[in-house]
Structure formats: C-alpha cells, structure tokens
Amino acid sequence: TINPQRLWDSLMDTAKIGGTEKGGICRLTLTDLDRQVRDWFRSQCEALGCTVAVDQVGNMFATRPGKRSDLSPIAIGSHLDTQPTGGKFDGVLGVLGGLEVMRTMHDLGYETNAPLMLVNWTNEEGSRFAPAMLGSGVYAGVFDRAFADSREDRQGVKFGDAIESIGYRGDAVPGSMKFGAMFELHIEQGPILEAERKMVGVVTGVQGMRWYEVELTGREAHTGSTPMNLRTNALLGTARIIERVDQIALEHSPSAVGTVGLVEVKPNSRNVIPGHVFFTVDFRHPDDAVLEVMEGKLMSAIPAIANEIGLEFSVKKVWDSPAVRFDPECISAVRKGTEKAGFLSRDMVSGAGHDAAYIARIAPTTMIFVPCEGGLSHNEAESTTLEECAAGAQVLLNAVLEYDQR
Amino acid sequence: TINPQRLWDSLMDTAKIGGTEKGGICRLTLTDLDRQVRDWFRSQCEALGCTVAVDQVGNMFATRPGKRSDLSPIAIGSHLDTQPTGGKFDGVLGVLGGLEVMRTMHDLGYETNAPLMLVNWTNEEGSRFAPAMLGSGVYAGVFDRAFADSREDRQGVKFGDAIESIGYRGDAVPGSMKFGAMFELHIEQGPILEAERKMVGVVTGVQGMRWYEVELTGREAHTGSTPMNLRTNALLGTARIIERVDQIALEHSPSAVGTVGLVEVKPNSRNVIPGHVFFTVDFRHPDDAVLEVMEGKLMSAIPAIANEIGLEFSVKKVWDSPAVRFDPECISAVRKGTEKAGFLSRDMVSGAGHDAAYIARIAPTTMIFVPCEGGLSHNEAESTTLEECAAGAQVLLNAVLEYDQR
Ligand SMILES: NC(=O)NCCC(=O)O
Ligand SMILES: NC(=O)NCCC(=O)O
C-alpha cells in the first residue's frame, strides 16, 4: 500500500513552485517555474534509480526496469503545468501519484514484470500555447514537432523558443520512448463523484472538444463624437457572439458546454470604440455529431452578427479533439484495482481533455478519477483531500499490478 | 496671417515622437515620449522669448508679454498627449496652432495688449489615467492635486509617480498661472463640418459625460467539466451589459451615445470560465437630465443581469462632467475672426470632452473646430488637411486679436 502522507507532502511541497496567495498554482508551461518543478521531478526519479529521458517537445520519461526487458513498459503519469490561476491537483496528482507508486515499489524492492514508466507531458493545459495536450499529441503523432514549435503564446513567444530557453529540449524523438499501455490518475474536475459519494471514477472515455479563434474588426472611433449609427463596434459584435455561444450550448443541454474564455480588446481605451477584438470559443460534447451541429450554428452566427454591425470577421478552428473511448482491458484493470481497495466507484466520461485522450490512439489507455470539492477546477480554490489523493494513488498502483500480472 | 507650411511641418515633425506604423501617434501621457514632446515644446517657446512655467500637475504655460502687464493674459492651447492608437491632430493641433500664432506675432514683432499664454494641459485623453481632462480639471479646482496624484493606470502606476519619473512636476501651484480667457483650437472629431462643407465650427458648448467602472465576479471553473447550469460566468454578464449599454444609448437617440471601451478578463484562459471582469462605460448627452435617466437605467440593469447569472458586482461612477456652455463674448470673437478670414462656419456643441470644458468654469472660454476626414478620431487614420489646420490657426489668431482689442 502507498504512503498517503508522503504523497501529500510531495503535493504540498511542489505546490510552492508557482504557489499563489490564494492557495493555487500559477505554473505555466515552459516558464522558469516549470523548469524548477521539472528539475525537482527528475532528481526524485533519479533517486529511485530510474533513468530519465526527455524528448524533443519536453515530455519527460522516468523508467524503472522490470523483470522482463522484452515487455513494453506500462506508463503512468500526467502533467505538472498549470493554468494561470490553477489548483494544486489538476495534473500534478497524476504525476506525484505515479511517483508515489514508484516510491512504494522501491521501498519494497518490488519488481514488476514489465518496466514502469512515469511520464510528465508538456503543455497539457493549453493555456499558454493552444491547443491543449500538445506534448502527448506530438508523442501520439496527432501533431508534428514543427507544428508544436510554431505555436505562439499571446505575447508572440514561440513554443520552440520557450523550450530552448528552459533547457528542456531533449534528444529523444517524440514517440520513440515506447510503452504498452498507460494509466492516468486525475481529479474529476466535475461534480459527479462528490454528489454521489463515490471515491473513484472509472473513466470510459473523453468527450469531444473543439477550439476556435475569432477576430472581429470594426473601426476605432471617438466614443463621444461618433453617433450610434456611424459606429462599427467590434466589442458589441463580440458581446452578441458570447451570448450566442451560451445559447448554442443550452440548445444541446444537458451534455453540451460552450464558453468564451479569452478576450483581447484593442485599443482597450475608455473613450475609444473598440476597433478589434480577438476571442476564443470552446465547445464540448460527448457526441462528435452534436459538436458538428454546434459548430454549424457558430459558423452561421458569426457572419450574421458581423453583418448586422458591419464588422469584418475571421474564424479559425484551432483544435478538434474527437470523442475518445478507452481500452476495455485497461478499464477492467482499474475496476479490479478499485474493488481490491474497497472503494465505491462509477463509470464516467471525462468532461476535460487529458493526455490519455491522445495516448489512447496509439496504446491501450484509461484513467482513474478521484473527487474534488464542489467539482471545482481551473480555480485556485481547487481542493482534494489527503484521503482522496491516497485512494487514487492506491487504485493506480493496484491497476498497474493487475495489468502487469495478466 | 499665419504660415500654413510651418504649422504643417511642426505637426509632422512632432508626430514622429511616438509615431506608429499606421501613421498615427501613441504618446500616452507622462511617458518618456510625452517628456520628449514636452522638451521640444518648451525649447520652441523659449526660442520665441517666452518664459515657460510648469505647475505641480505638469501643465505647461509659455507666456509672451503684452503691452500692458496689468491685463490678464489671453490663453490658447490644448494637449500633446494622445490615445494609444491616436491620430496626429487630436490636441496637437491646438498646441501647435497656438505656437504658430505666437511665431507669427514674433516674426512681425507684433505686441498684443494683454500677454499671450500658450498652454499644454496634462492628461487630457484620460486613456492612461481616468478621468480625462485631469490637468485642466486640477487647474480649474474641479479636482485637487492629491486626487490627481492618486490616479492609477491599469498597471498600477500612480499619476504622481509617473510625473516625477519624467521630471515634469513643476513648482507652480495649479491655478496660480492666471489668465483672463481661453481659446482652444481642435479638430471636430465628428462628421458634421465635413458633411456640411463648413471650414469652421463655432463651439457653443460641450455635452455632458459620465464614466463608470464595473466589476463582475463569478467563479472560475473548467470549461469542459462544468455543466452550464453550475456556472457563474462573469464574461456572460459583461456581454449582456455591453448590449444593454448600446440599447440605452439608442433609447435616447439621436443625441445619446454609450460605449464599453475597455474590458479586462481574468484569468483570460481559453479553458477557464471567466471568474472576473473589469470594464468601463462611457455615456454622453448634451442634456444632463437625460444622462441622469441613462445612468438610472444602467444602475438597474447591472444588478438585474448580475442576479440572473449569480454574479457579484460593483459599480463606481469615476467621472461626471456636466454639460458646459461657453462664454458669449469669446464665441463672438471667434465668429468675427471667422468672418474676417472668410470661412463658412456653423455653431456646434462638442461631443468630445476638452480642457476648455473645465476652464470654462473659471474663465471666459470657447473653442474653434476644424473638420477631420469622415469625422474620424481616436484612430491612427485621423486626417485633417494642411488647409484645414491653417484655417483653424488663422481663426485662432483672429479671435485672439479680436478679444485683445475689445
Ligand atoms: N484536464 C485539464 O484540465 N485539461 C486541460 C485541457 C482541457 O480540457 O481544456
Ligand atoms: N478631445 C478628446 O478626444 N478628449 C478626450 C476626452 C473624451 O472626450 O473622452
């Protein structure tokens, strides 16, 4: 059995790297804070006798040998990057829970049949560089390395330059660090487990998600001397599209969600009618066919609203991650591991994107969820108890052993 | 008569200080670029034998003696600061047109009865520090110096610190550099003169204007895993208020205008439901009673929209500049000066705020408008011809002589 307090202490210690006043973490991918937590992670894995490899997009792979070197490794892990106002558990629990599994085996001198591989994926959050799950996406061949390198943050810094600047451009070709299956532990980030008083979510898949970037261009003009009928106000158009995105999601309730999360107004001056607005749209649904309908509605709403006001517009789909179904054998290993630990569980589909969603394209994969308070995530107040974290790590250990002993 | 080419050359030369690629100027108040243009202005005035005084909020006063030192000076001028994406004429024409008047008198060795005082007011634009017309407001006793010093830009830099850092905290107590009347030349910033093919606007007053700051607070949460009915989306509330601000203005058409110009979303991440939005509202109308009704509608819309969504809100009125009527004697001097120059003119009320609006509270004041292309201002494409600039400076000279010879 894993050591709950040791896991908790590691969570609380690393939470200081980028820790915020409100108790969260701001540790955007490929910043110096990300470098610090990566350095710490590498040294902890090396202390367990693991070899740590880094690939060309910064994904980190710590390998613990098994009895049989002819078997493909079993991978565990998640991501150490966070949102700008992120919590202490999103992603981090999966990596440190995996580290706790490694430490437990190390203490007992336990040898698995297959090697065990603990992974920290780069830029899972997608907040600094869109799209999300970029490191695992390159690993799985969804994106190529050049695409990843070309992604720019909102200050115009390229992914490729950011990775060089923190010294985490590794040698390994993405995808070359092969494994035979992956288990990702994560907080649910939604309200269901808590509401049903279940400790474990057996994750059967991930819903589809699409991201768009919209730009509206009108004409900057004086707020005081420009009559209402002579305006082309890009922010008014944005307001109407924000409302429409909300409606589209409600038209496909209860499963659909739709959000405008990022807005940049230019010139953003109190007495200038906004001439230009850049904003993003995030649509999700478990059924790709419904997403297609939602996209159609957005694509007709944008020109209609732009025309009402006389705005120019451009819209780009920057991400399309279809719905994913996880591997039955991996799912069954999680189910057995949960029973063995004696936790109540329920099957569920993830609302959030995860590295596991891309890895599932190339290897048997699944996930383990534990509850978080009020379902709240992407918030500094994100909260999961020591017991819940420990339950997740225990089920992760059990599932890995189950899968290893097939 | 003034020298049109010399005026134009000065306009084009100073436009390089903060000049933008699109042909505008970005010269925010109390930045190093503002210091550069102030230094240039001071040296040009001194070259004409003027003494230049600076007051404690950075207003600059260049005095040219008259025949009679017992008479109060006649002031002319405007402002050299610009919007972030401002044009080459807004404010600048009033100062450089005034400089051209001074230069013309200097060349001819002409002595006015009263001294002539050319003024560059600080932070007229109100884009970096709200409210607008802050320097003239302190001069006129509308605000006190401590209030001005306490104003913060959106990066949290205080007006008082910014003025020290560019070395333009003068000795003169604001209001102590007295004058007996003021004439401000400015571009119209609206479409009327151009549409009616009139060269000069005789400005009879300025409409009322009010600025508000609104903050909405909801709860940051994950865009993928948070169902629509569990959201408190601060940006959705903002979108509804932006739409309502537009409606309120249209309900009082055609004279009312209403605009949200500045929006800041937090955390501004694609996959986080916005938890906090700060934005501004600008309402204007020539009749203060109508502004009062518009404000009432805004003050009931904000709580209603916040409640719909479950948001907390705060709203502050940060500026209230009542409608202004200019001085009949000054207006008549402009009218005579226009006739003498042979230009077609029409009376008009200013839609934009101007330093003259505050100065009118303490001294006889009026303004002279010249057309700008398409009525466009607060835009890098703002455009006024050499002939129009020259016409404005000529009428300014004529009006000053007219007033001086009463
Ligand atoms: N798990 C998680 O928060 N992933 C970020 C990508 C997304 O779902 O938006
Ligand atoms: N003239 C001018 O653009 N003034 C700025 C203040 C305002 O009217 O918003």
Q: What is the pTM of this model?
A: 0.95
In degrees rounded to 5, what are phi and psi of residue B47? Answer: -65, -20
Q: Does A352 contact ligand 1 (Cβ within 6 A)?
A: yes
Write the pLDDT tens digit of every residue in A124-164.
999 999 999 999 999 999 999 999 999 999 999 999 999 99
Contact B246 A233 (CB under 8 A): yes
**B33/B50 Cα distance (integer angstroms):** 23
Compute the half-sphere exposure of residue A381: CA atoms within 13 Å on the CB side of its CA. Answer: 8
CB atoms closer than 10 angstroms to residue B212: 22
In this predicted structure, what is the pLDDT of residue B165? 98
Write the pLDDT tens digit of every residue in B317-326.
999 999 999 9
**B307/B305 Cα distance (integer angstroms):** 5
In this predicted structure, what is the pLDDT of residue A62? 98
In this predicted structure, what is the pLDDT of residue A336? 98
- Distance of residue A136 Cα from the nearest chain B Cα, in angstroms: 18
Whole-number Å distance, alpha carbon B360 to ligand 2 midpoint, is 16
In this predicted structure, what is the pLDDT of residue B237? 98
Write the pLDDT tens digit of every residue in A248-259.
999 999 999 999
- 3-class secondary structure, A371: coil
Ranges of beta strands (E only) in B170-311 are: 181-187, 200-206, 208-217, 221-222, 257-259, 263-266, 272-273, 276-285
A-chain residues within 8 Å CB-CB of B228?
Answer: 246, 249-250, 253-254, 256-258
Nearest CA to ligand 1 atom 5: A125
In this predicted structure, what is the pLDDT of residue A162? 98
Write the pLDDT tens digit of every residue in A219-233.
999 999 999 999 999
- Candidate from A235, A262, A273 with C-beta closest to B268: A262
Contact B265 A263 (CB under 8 A): yes
**A245/B236 Cα distance (integer angstroms):** 10
**What does the buried/exposed string (b/e) look like for B166-176 if buried means 16 or more CB atoms within 10 Å of the residue's CB?**
bebbbebebee
Closest C-alpha among A304, A89, A349, A82 to residue A209: A349
Q: Residues A44-61: what's their mean pLDDT?
A: 98
The residue count of chain B comes to 406
In this predicted structure, what is the pLDDT of residue B130? 97
In this predicted structure, what is the pLDDT of residue B307? 98
Among B220, B225, B270, B271, say which to mutate for ligand 1: greatest number of ligand atoms within 8 Å of CB: B271
Write the pLDDT tens digit of every residue in B72-106.
999 999 999 999 999 999 999 999 999 999 999 99
Q: What is the mean pLDDT of chain B?
A: 98
A312 among the known binding-site residues?
Answer: no
Q: Are A17 and A33 in contact (CB under 8 A)?
A: yes
- What DSSP state is assigned to residue B375? G
A79 among the known binding-site residues?
Answer: yes
Q: Inform me whether the C-beta atom of residue B321 falls under 8 Å from chain A C-beta atoms.
A: no
Q: Inform me whether the C-beta atom of residue A5 falls under 8 Å from chain B C-beta atoms.
A: no
In this predicted structure, what is the pLDDT of residue B349? 97
Write the pLDDT tens digit of every residue in A320-329.
999 999 999 9
Closest C-alpha among A189, A66, A43 to residue A120: A43
Q: Inform me whether the C-beta atom of residue A239 falls under 8 Å from chain B C-beta atoms.
A: yes
Cα-to-chain-centroid distance, residue B317? 18
**A262/A282 Cα distance (integer angstroms):** 10
